[in-house]
Each structure stands twice: as C-alpha cells, then as structure tokens.
Amino acid sequence: MENNTILSIRDLTVHYITREMGTCRAVNDFSLDIFRGETVGLVGETGAGKTTVALSIMRLLQTPPAKIVSGSIEYNGEDLLRKPVKQMRSIRGQEISMIFQDPMTALNPIDTVGKQIAEVIRLHQSVSDAEAAVKAGDMMELIGIPRDRYNEYPHQFSGGMKQRIVIAMALACSPQLLLADEPTTALDVTIQAQVLDKIDELKKMLNTSVLLITHDLGVVAGMCDRVVVMYAGEIVEYGTTREIFKHALHPYTKGLFNSLPSQDTERLKPIPGLMPDPSNLPERCKFEPRCEHCGEKCSACTPQLTEIRENHWVRCHYAQEG
C-alpha cells in the first residue's frame, strides 16, 4: 500500500439476511482505494449499495440483518473489519467521520450546537472543557456561523446551517477521511451550493479525503476528482471525473447521462426497466436484463473490471466497442 492511500477496500461483500426477503446481496466484491486529499464520488441509484459501503467502513451496519461476508477495509495498515469495537470508537469521529443526508435528525435537539461540536472534540482529544469550547468556536467560524451563536439550539437554525454544523462536528478533529452520504440532497439548490463549497474549502484546508455519495452527477462534476459508478452492489465503472464524463463506457453510465434533462436533447432516453431485486440478482452481468448492447458473452460469464482507457476501468465485455 502506497503512502498516498488512506483507505483500501478489498473485495467487500455485504449481505442482508431477513426472513421475508431471503438473502439480499447488497454489496458484491467492492474494491476501492482512496488517496490522500482527494474527493471520490460514489454514484448510483437507490439500492445500489452506496450507503452500505459507507456504513461498513464505519462499522455502523446493523448486524443482523446485515452481514459482512468477506473482504477487508484497510486503514493505516489495519483492517477495520477486524478491529475490536472499542478501537473503532476512537477511529470514528477522529480519523474517519461521516455525515448523513438529513440534517434535521442528525443534531440533538436538546443540546446547544456549540456544546455538540465541543463534545466531539473532547471525546477524541485530551483537552480541557474550556479549550474544547474555544476550538468549537473556531470550527463554527470556519463554517461561516458566528461564534456568538454557540449557545443556540438546533431548531433556531435553518436546514443549510444545520448541515454546516453537522459538517463542523464531522471535521472538528481533522479526520483523514470524511464520508458524506448525500449531504445536500435535502437542501435547496442555493443552500446546497453554499454547503458544498464549504466542504470543498475545509477539505482543502485540512487535507481531508472525501468519499461523496450522491446520485447527482452535477454535484460530482463540481466536486470530485474520481468517480465510482455502482450498480446492484458492484462497481461498473470508475476513473477520473473527466474520463467518466467525457468518455462514459459502461451502458449503465451512458444510460444515466442520457436520462439527464440537462442536454438539449429532443427526448430523454431513460434506461428501461428497474434495478434488479438484490435477493434475486442476475447470474452473470447484473445489468444485462436492461442492456441494449448485450451479446452472447454477457450471460455466459461475469464481466470483470478492466482498464479500458488510462485511469478508466469498466466492467463490461463490450466496452471497447462502445
């Protein structure tokens, strides 16, 4: 593992096992390296498995019904999946932080915001209460909220501000890696712009790597260095943002771009059908039932991730031919 790699996920496989649904193969053989200081976009639709990946990194999955079947997640040379719970606690918040989609429910309504930020600092750094409060104030200024609002409660802030407070809490201890799960989906467009800018600014300042989970390709274009496209629990394509946007190769990725009403197209070309039921995935290529370009190979053997262009990997038998 190079010195440049923060996190190394190898062959992660996660299943959800319930009586009603059987075994849902939520994540299948997922491998990804995240480098220092970069923003990786994890793109996919509902049910692709993106949140499951993030929760696995943080070891926040509910097991049962989830089960990490195999794989490893290496951070600083140690496998997070095999760490004792106590050690994970010291990593969460300090080394790896996560922010979730809904800022309304992420904050404790009965504590002041300043106190909540300070709490994160106190948990991980051996500083006095007074020092923690000062640092919390610093964090608030950093995210654009005046320090003198330290003693106000979450309900006194708007959605965008609450999300920024959540970001402050996540970054208070200067973590190496920030997992952001659809951090701006619930926010208005103008507020989204503010929040994303803040994340970008802070990330550069603290040299934090970011795994940005989103379904919004516009956000990805603006924020991410590399993009990983997930479908039915697997990576179907990944590469630098420029590569993916300019030269999308996997039929699913191309389908996503064609579904966007941003081009001046005559008619949208949506991908027909639906994502497969995770408890009943197709045998070989998972996208085959919806694919317009499939051929014999697709139902015969499972496609592997291959580097088709430089820094551009695709899981498709026919990728070269477009």
Partner 1 sequence: MKKNEHNRTIRRRSMAGEVIDRLVRNKTAMIGLLILLIVVFSCIFANVICPEGYNSNDLPHRYMSPSIKFLFGTDSFGRSMLARVLYGGRNSLLIGFLATCLAAVIGIALGAICGYFGGAADIILMRFLDVLNAIPNLLLAIVISACLGTGKLNTVLAVGISFIPGFAKQVRGPVISLMGSDYIEAARSIDATNTRIIVRHVLPNVLSPLIVQFTLTIALSILCVSSLSFLGLGIQPPEPEWGALLSAGREYLTHYPYLCTFPGLGIALTVFSVNLFGDGLRDAIDPKLKN
Partner 2 sequence: MEKSDNILEVKDLQKYFDVASGELHAVDHLTFSIRRGETLGVVGESGCGKSTLGRVLLHLVEPTGGEMRYNGEDITKVSRKRLSELRRQMQMIFQDPYSSLNPRFTVFQTIAEPMEIAGGFTKRQIEEKVYAMMDTVGLDRRLVNSYPHELDGGRRQRIGIGRALILEPEFIVCDEPVSALDVSIQAQIINLLLDIQEQRKLTYVFITHDMMVVKYISDRILVMYMGEVAELAESKKLFEKPLHPYTKALLSAVPVPDVDNRQQRIILKGEVTSPINPKPGCRFAARCRYATEICTCESPQPAEYEPGHLVSCHHAQEINKNI
Applying CB under 8 A, the residues found at the interface with partner 2 are: 45-46, 158-161, 188-194, 196-197, 215-222, 241-242, 245-246, 255-262, 267-272, 274
CB of 278 to partner 1, least distance (A): 9
List phi, psi (to 5°) of 235. -85, 125
292 binds partner 1 (CB under 8 A): yes
301 binds partner 1 (CB under 8 A): no
* Interatomic CA distance for residues 61 and 51, integer angstroms: 10
Residue 175 vs 276, nearer CB to partner 1: 276
Is the CB of residue 91 less than 8 Å from the CB of residue 75? yes
Residue 202 vs 285, nearer CB to partner 1: 285
291 binds partner 1 (CB under 8 A): yes
Out of 289, 297, 302, 305, point to the residue binding partner 1 (CB under 8 A).
Answer: 289
Site for partner 1 in 21-40 (CB under 8 A): 21
Binding pattern for the stretch 116-135 against partner 1, x by CB under 8 A and - elsewhere:
--------------------
65 binds partner 1 (CB under 8 A): no
First to last CA, the chain: 33
Rounded to 10 degrees, the C-alpha dihedral 290/47/236/209 comes to 160
CB of 175 to partner 2, least distance (A): 25
Side-chain half-sphere CA neighbours of 255 within 13 A: 21
Residue 106 binds which entry of partner 1, partner 2, none, CB below 5-8 Å type-dependent: none
Residue 130 binds which entry of partner 2, partner 1, none, CB below 5-8 Å type-dependent: none
Alpha helices in the chain (DSSP H): 50-57, 85-91, 103-106, 113-124, 129-142, 159-171, 189-206, 217-223, 241-246, 251-259, 296-300
- DSSP string for 156-183: GS-HHHHHHHHHHHHHTT--SEEEEEST
- Map tokens 């020092």 to a residue: 131
Site residues for partner 1 per CB under 8 A: 20-21, 272-277, 280, 282, 288-292, 294
